[in-house]
Structures are given as structure tokens and as C-alpha cells.
Structure 1
Amino acid sequence: MLDEYDFTKGVRGKYAERYAKGTNVVVIDPDVVEIFPDHDSVNEALRSLAEIIKRRGKSDVRHPQHPVGQDENG
């Protein structure tokens, strides 16, 4: 950092709360990133999925009993 930068009057975290309210961070697993490499492709896929769900009706959406890739025994 250059000596001419003066942060003595800076306020730490001044915009942190405002930034956090406007930010929604989701961590994507590496295998998914291979297919959806950027936010545009993720959003497009999720919007397509949301359309399908809307057309089928919310009552048809099934929630898995166990995480994907695991059976009852773990």
C-alpha cells in the first residue's frame, strides 16, 4: 500500500450492513460448477426449473427423505 493513502479518517465496516442486505452468496460444489460455470448459467437453470415447478403445481414437488446419493443407511 502506498504511503500517500490516508485511511486515518476511515470508518471500518461503514457499508457492511448495507452490503450484506443486498448480497446473497451461495456456495456451489465443484461438480456443479463444471456444468454451470457462472451466475448467468446458474440463474437460467434455476429459472427454467422454477417454470417447470410452477406448471406442475406446487403440490407435486417432492422433498427427498434423505440427501441425494445416500440411502436410509447413510
Structure 2
Amino acid sequence: MHNLIHSSVIDSDEMLSAYDFIGGVRGKHAQALREAYSVTVYHTDGTSTVKEFTPQDDLIKLEPDVQSYFPDAESVNRALRGLIALIPQQVE
């Protein structure tokens, strides 16, 4: 027997009681994702596709207190370019 979830429950902001996050560990897979990993996508026709992901060498992680000021990469780059413009040019 399948349990049907009515749309009124889905629209609610509350979690279903079936979801138990006690014992969950925040970020427990974060270190593994910093390394290369693969994801297998299983299609409805029975086939599967493996997609490989490698970490980006130029990826910079912002701390949460800094990240709250920047909604996207473009805003970070714009702010940094503004700071760079204030740095005196060094003549070699």
C-alpha cells in the first residue's frame, strides 16, 4: 500500500514526522567532495550514465560571514576589482 501525500501537506512549511535527522552530521561528506568523485544517473529506460566531477583548482571558498554579503561570484569579483584599483601600482 502506498502512502499518498496530499498537496496541502506538500505546501506546508513543516517537515513530515517521517524525516528523522537526529544523529545527522553536518558536512560529513564535505571532505570527500573536495576530491574527485563520480555520480551515476539511472535512466527510466534502464540505462545509466556516469558523470565524473573533479575539483576546480581555482575555487575559493568564502567563510559564511563574508558570503552573506555576496549573492554570487560576479559581486565578489566586482568588490575585489574595486579593492585592486585602490592598490598603488608597483613599478619594477
TM-score by length of 2: 0.39
**Structure in which a larger fraction of residues adopt strand:** 2
Higher relative contact order (CA 8 A, sep 6+): 2
Q: Pick the structure with more helix per residue.
A: 1
TM-score by length of 1: 0.47
Instruction: Select the structure of larger CA radius of gyration.
Output: 2
